[in-house]
Amino acid sequence: MLVRGERIVAIGAHGTLPTSVIAGARHVDLEGRFIMPGLIDSHVHMATPPEPTKAKAVLRRSLFGGVTAVRDMADDLRSVAELARESRMAEITAPDIYYAAIMAGRPFFGDPRVGAASRGFTAGTAPWMQAIDEKTDLAEAVTLARGTSATALKIYADLSPSLVKAITREAHRQHMLVWAHSAVFPSRPAAVIAAGPDSVSHVCYLAYQVEPVMLASYEDRTPVHEQLLSAGDDDPVIARLYADMLRRGTILDATGSLFVKFEAKRRAAPKAKPLRCTGDAVTRLTRQAWKAGVPISTGTDYVGGVENLWPDVHDELFFLARDVGMPALEVIHSATLVGAQAAGQSKDMGSIEAGKLANFIILTADPTADIGNIQTMETVVKRGVSYARTDYRPVTSAEMGDRD
């Protein structure tokens, strides 16, 4: 593999690249090693509220753990855009960052997270966090979102099916991707999928399709009545959703490990507020998606504690392999090429090909034999720059913003 600058320029069997092509290149012998594309975490939040020191620490941990790109799923984009610029210019040690501006119904903008991520603006008026209703000029609203340099619009909550469809149509007309919650209460999952977003987040929310009465708002946190789902992983209502996603090429950002992790914590504290879904239901829904052929990306939607030496996306890989039962090679596909597709970056990343960015991981053991071998990495290469795992300094409590 020949890398020049930040890109792979040629790949061939040993001895097949012309001498004229490789003349003067620095030779790195990787005999006995395994190379795979860089990982992509398709669901992170880095600035709600903005805490640049913490965000940079988490991003550094991610890059040294093999993550070469992330999707930020809506935050204070003033902060996120600066982090993205610093990463792109190699001023900080971080993955590349692609991010979304939010659109939601007016009830959502009472959420305290909105104030934290749009300080200085009246809630719902920041270009990256806009309140939408039937009177909104959607062409102008999408143009304002585009002005933040966002890759996509995230359709979040409290919108009717007609508005979900209209926002998606206008965003696509203006050449923006659309990343949506898989249920945009009161819009059911079927209506969200039918609107045509490029990806939907949270496999749990798909289960609201079986509810006889849909929740009227996102703010109603009533959990899914899981007894309405089939006992196995072949629920017919969910099967119809997956068939429609498959027809449309919709990517599922499952965020499964989030629910499994926090369900375990909830069981240890019975008085804790339940999540919308149990870990078991999320596992079964994800397994059904995989068996149906729905493309699944690897998003996390949480940040682990300071004691974690590896990025959170590793937990999502382990969830897909060990809980869902996906073969390791398919998990790698989800964490690389599907993630690149979800971020709209598959022309530049997600696989090791001539012409693409030199984003890859060097391992001492085969990750297709055991996904746990992802943690045998020696080196991460992002845009042609090498980061040795031995150079990683663990994140401190101060950097993570932890409080006693």
Q: Tell me what percent of the residues of the chain surpass a pLDDT of 90.
A: 90
The tokens for 69 are 């790109």
pLDDT at 403 over 70: no
pLDDT at 404 over 50: no
C-alpha–C-alpha distance, residues 298 and 314, integer Å: 9
Encode pLDDT of 238-283 as tens digits: 999 999 999 999 999 999 999 999 888 888 887 888 889 999 999 9
- Position 118 in a domain: yes
DSSP state of 89: T
pLDDT at 401 over 80: no
Encode pLDDT of 7-29 as tens digits: 999 999 988 998 888 888 999 99
- pTM score: 0.96
Give the pLDDT score at 402. 64
Give the pLDDT score at 48. 93
C-alpha–C-alpha distance, residues 32 and 19, integer Å: 24
Give the pLDDT score at 264. 82
Let me know: does 74 contact 118? Beta carbons within 8 Å. no
Tell me which residue of 224, 200, 221 sits closest to 210, measured CA to CA.
224
What confidence tier does 376 reach under pLDDT thresholds 50, 70, 90? Answer: very high
Give the pLDDT score at 106. 96
Encode pLDDT of 116-142 as tens digits: 999 999 999 999 999 999 999 999 999
Average pLDDT over residues 291-296: 98
Give the pLDDT score at 244. 98
Side-chain half-sphere CA neighbours of 102 within 13 A:
30
Range of the domain at 94: 33-400
Tell me which residue of 194, 197, 200 sits closest to 177, measured CA to CA.
197
* Furthest CA-CA distance within the chain: 69
DSSP state of 187: B
Residue 253, strand partner residues:
201, 297
Mean pLDDT of all residues belonging to the chain:
96
151-177 residues labelled b (16+ CB within 10 A) or e (exposed):
bbbbbbbbbbbebbbbbbebbbeeebb
pLDDT at 344 over 50: yes
The tokens for 235 are 């629920």
Q: Which CATH number belongs to the domain containing residue 176 in this structure? A: 3.20.20.140
Task: Give backbone dihedrals phi and psi of 292, rounded to 5 degrees, phi first.
Answer: -80, -10
| The total number of structural domains that make up the chain | 1
Give the pLDDT score at 268. 82
C-alpha–C-alpha distance, residues 131 and 348, integer Å: 33
C-alpha–C-alpha distance, residues 182 and 241, integer Å: 10
Let me know: does 99 contact 83? Beta carbons within 8 Å. no
Residue 40, strand partner residues:
69
Helix, strand, coil percent values for the chain (each to nearest 5): 40, 20, 40
- Position 24 in a domain: no
Let me know: does 254 contact 289? Beta carbons within 8 Å. yes
- Position 314 in a domain: yes
- Position 315 in a domain: yes
Query: Environment class of residue 336 by beta-carbon count within 10 Å: exposed (0-12), middle (13-18) or buried (19+)?
Result: buried
Encode pLDDT of 184-193 as tens digits: 999 999 999 9
- Residue 49's Cα: distance from chain center in Å? 19
Encode pLDDT of 37-82 as tens digits: 999 999 999 999 999 999 999 999 999 999 999 999 999 999 999 9
The tokens for 236 are 């017919």
Task: Give backbone dihedrals phi and psi of 183, rounded to 5 degrees, phi first.
Answer: -135, 130
- Position 16 in a domain: no
Encode pLDDT of 88-118 as tens digits: 999 999 999 999 999 999 999 999 999 999 9
Let me know: does 336 contact 35? Beta carbons within 8 Å. no
- Position 218 in a domain: yes
Give the pLDDT score at 271. 80
